[in-house]
Amino acid sequence: MAGAEPNAGTQDRGGYRNLLVLAGVVVALALSWGPAEMGRWTYLFTDAGNMAQYASGFLRPDFSEWRYYLEEIVVTIQIALWGTFLAVVLSVPFGILSASNMAPWWIRHPVRRLMDFFRAIHEVVFAVLFVVAVGLGPFAGVMALFIHTTGILAKLFSEAVEAIDPRPVEAIRTTGASRTQQVIFGVIPQVLPLWISFSLYRLESNIRSATVLGLIGAGGIGQVMFETIRGFYYSQAAAILIVVVLTVTLMDLLSQQLRKLVI
């Protein structure tokens, strides 16, 4: 009976913490109700007629230019592919240097702040900067996705490294292995499945992001979609949206199969 009292106290403290977290979430939502203009939710119903009238223009998709749409969606996929690939290559060293169990604080914190910077600025902003620097076209989209995705993947990679089992690394260290060998043979085998999963997920996300980047001149299907919507060609815009949705769905199915093969 005496041994049960500490456990009861621990459970009570855990319950209090959960209540405090829940109360904090409720307070945060209450404080952000006004600034987020959540009171305008009624407009979804009062202006439903206007929304329905606008959406009716998308009910008759026009696939007469389907070959052109396929060419542009391939460009969008290629933008996402290169942006993700470059980000994965750079995220491996940055992710390791960001991990608390891999690098000293004087290296870890500057790298983390750099990754925060990459992550905090939206890829659309980076795309605008690169469009100014390198001109309109897919390369600006590649660079925008590359920088932003590096910040995201480096964060995820570092968290995976921090959660590893330290015993294999210690065993390799006792053999006199260098720091690099410890990482290659003790760390990477443990985190590689997670890294691959994160990378495939970001590839899917970057296809959607590459579509948005096309709206500001970064090439691909997004640029075509923006031109059709701006010209009130809603039937063509509907066809493009269907092509985008089907592409994302196919990429999701493909990534699932890849995960089964490599994980």
Q: What is the pLDDT of residues 203-241, one digit of tens each?
A: 989 998 998 898 888 888 988 888 898 888 889 999 999
pLDDT confidence of 1, banded at 50, 70, 90? very low
Q: Tell me if 13 is assigned to some domain.
A: no
Q: In terms of C-beta density within 10 A (0-12 exposed, 13-18 middle, 19 or more buried), how is residue 222 classed?
A: buried
Domain that holds residue 191: 66-262
Residue 263 has pLDDT above 70, yes or no: no
Q: Tell me if 18 is assigned to some domain.
A: no
Q: Tell me if 134 is assigned to some domain.
A: yes
Q: Domain holding 93: CATH number? A: 1.10.3720.10
pLDDT (0 to 100) of residue 9: 63
pLDDT (0 to 100) of residue 234: 87
Q: Tell me if 227 is assigned to some domain.
A: yes
In terms of residues, how long is the chain? 263
DSSP 3-state of 122? coil
Q: Tell me if 113 is assigned to some domain.
A: yes
167-180 pLDDT, tens digit per residue, is 999 999 998 888 88
Whether 111 contacts 92, CB under 8 Å: no
**How many domains does the chain fold into?**
1
19-72 pLDDT, tens digit per residue, is 999 999 999 999 999 898 888 888 777 766 666 766 777 788 889 898 999 999
| C-alpha–C-alpha distance, residues 169 and 57, integer Å | 60
Q: Tell me if 191 is assigned to some domain.
A: yes
88-147 pLDDT, tens digit per residue, is 999 999 999 999 999 999 999 999 999 999 999 999 999 999 999 988 889 999 999 999
| C-alpha–C-alpha distance, residues 207 and 82, integer Å | 11
Q: Tell me if 106 is assigned to some domain.
A: yes
Q: φ, ψ for residue 201 (rounded to 5)?
A: -65, -45
Percent of the chain with pLDDT over 70: 93
Q: Tell me if 32 is assigned to some domain.
A: no
CA-angle at 83, arms to 78 and 89, nearest 5°: 125
